[in-house]
Structure 1
Amino acid sequence: MTIRALAPLFVGDFEHYRHVLVLPDDRRPGIPASELITCDGLTWLLEQYGRHQPGEDRRALVSQWSRFYFVKLIVPTVAANLVLGHELPVAIDRLEVILSDDGLPEAFRLPHEGKPFARKPEGPFERFEALLEGNLAPMVEGWHHQVRLSRKVLWNNAANYLEWLIGAMAGLGVPTAMLADGKRLVEWERRPDGHRNPMYSPVRYVERERGPSPLRQRRQCCIRYRLPDLALCENCPHIDRPPKGARLPESLIQRC
């Protein structure tokens, strides 16, 4: 079963997220999210994913897989939080990941449907604590430990989608006040305790002489180009100076 309280969110451009968050009565096989950052769990995951995405570079495989994980989890979780004031139980010790046949995240099984905030959160880090501290931080640390993939790359994979989501929601007419904490999460360089905010400024908008301008460009390359048959992303920081052996995406080649 999907979460009925969130149904108003999943219309139009966001309709395909309607069945991403499910409850315990969904009996499809799943794997605890916490197992995906263990040696055995990650090895198993890459075996499933590797059947459909060839490549020997484990860092690139984890980075590419994480992009699907982050976007699938962040979009409905953040939208529910900002628009409905609804907090979801997404910590990795409470979440199960349901994989599709291609080894990618298809859905997330939550232990319950969450609840509205008892009071208005005081800023973005309190508002998104369950997502940031309960899920993203341990996933980033776990994957970094297992394959030595840069934390900056992983955090940029996540923050890139959050920045995109806030812009997309603004374009759909969501009131600015509702989106304020989402914007602050990518605009504040420091957390209230003075520590660096890993979600800070994930993209920049670059004026270019050729091709689309301004280009929405990530701060960190996701290194997916190290996998067979995958080109650079359209918003890769290396678009104008591709690494040796990397290919431009077809969409940009056609525009240039």
Structure 2
Amino acid sequence: MTPEITAAVPDSLGTYRDGVAADSGTGTATPLSALHDPAVFDATLAAFEAGLGVSPGAVDRRALVSYWSQFYLAPLATPAMTALVRLGRPLPLGFATTRLALDGAGRPARFLVRPGTPEGSAPGLAGLVEDHLRPFVELCRAQCGIAPRVIWGNAAVILDYVAREIGEPETLARPEVAACLGWCGGPSCALSPLARALCDRRRRTCCLRQRLPGVPSCGDLCPVRAGGRCGAADGP
């Protein structure tokens, strides 16, 4: 979003260094609030499906939405966590005020935020959870009936990974971020949906990607193999 944030992103996360940018008001980006319209959401998902080379309607819609959410969350998490951990400030990523741009394969590529937008309703990572992730999880549930725990699991794994790439000492130096990820105890940790989605740094619920043809499974990392839950049905 700014040269300062871009420069602070670790090289290992460079693919998503520019995942958040200032919104100039031009281009074909979609307001996130418009995704509540089933027609808009279906068109966005269809572009992603085509990019995967999957025949329309040929796969479990919940698995497709879960996989799409992983591509959505990666460019969101990288600049957002970098700004929180390394610069000590949140990005103005409220779901209601942000637009989404897709790449040529229909994948979420960049979040466009309005200059001057308030930074969030809560400090640290909790602000991103309440202002963006919670509405996003509800959007996915409403559009395909996927269990919220699946999307929370995707978000938790990606944010945890980004935080560790940035550096565990740096992240632990931001107590509000570390607590929200479940890295330490206390009330904030107990209440965090991200912390609840992980157990001993491992996700609790399957992301369903094994249901998509041509998409590699998580292998030994899959929680179902370790006695975890399949997230196909709706539920908390």
Match of 1:182 in 2: 177
Match of 1:221 in 2: 206
Residues 50 and 189 of structure 1: CA distance in aligned 2, closer, same or farther (over 3 Å): farther
Match of 1:36 in 2: 35
Aligned partner (choices 160, 164, 170) of residue 161 of structure 2: 164
What's the CA shift for 1:233? 1.5
3-state SS in 1 of match to 2:97: coil
Match of 2:124 in 1: 127
Identical-residue share of aligned pairs (%) = 25
3-state SS in 1 of match to 2:110: strand
Q: Is the 8 A contact 1:31 1:96 kept in 2?
A: yes
Considering Cα pairs closer than 8 Å and 6+ residues apart, tell me whether 1 or 2 has the greater RCO: 2
What's the CA shift for 1:8? 2.8
Q: Is the 8 A contact 1:221 1:238 kept in 2?
A: yes
In the superposition, the TM-score normalised over structure 1's length comes to 0.75
Match of 2:222 in 1: 236
- Is 1:202 matched with 2:197? yes
Residues 239 and 230 of structure 1: CA distance in aligned 2, closer, same or farther (over 3 Å): farther
**Could you tell which deviates more after superposition, 18-27 or 54-63?**
18-27
Residues 4 and 165 of structure 1: CA distance in aligned 2, closer, same or farther (over 3 Å): same
Give me the whole-angstrom Cα distance separating, in 2, the residues matched to 1:98 and 1:217: 30
Query: Counting helix residues as a fraction of each chain, which structure ranks higher?
Result: 2
Structure 2: gaps of 5 or more residues: 230-236
Q: Is the 8 A contact 1:20 1:72 kept in 2?
A: yes
Greater C-alpha Rg = 1
**Could you tell which deviates more after superposition, 57-66 or 2-11?**
2-11
Match of 1:62 in 2: 65
Q: Is the 8 A contact 2:156 2:197 kept in 1?
A: yes
Q: Which amino acid aligns with 1:62?
A: V
Aligned partner (choices 145, 149, 152) of residue 148 of structure 1: 145
Q: Is the 8 A contact 2:84 2:90 kept in 1?
A: yes
Match of 2:8 in 1: 9
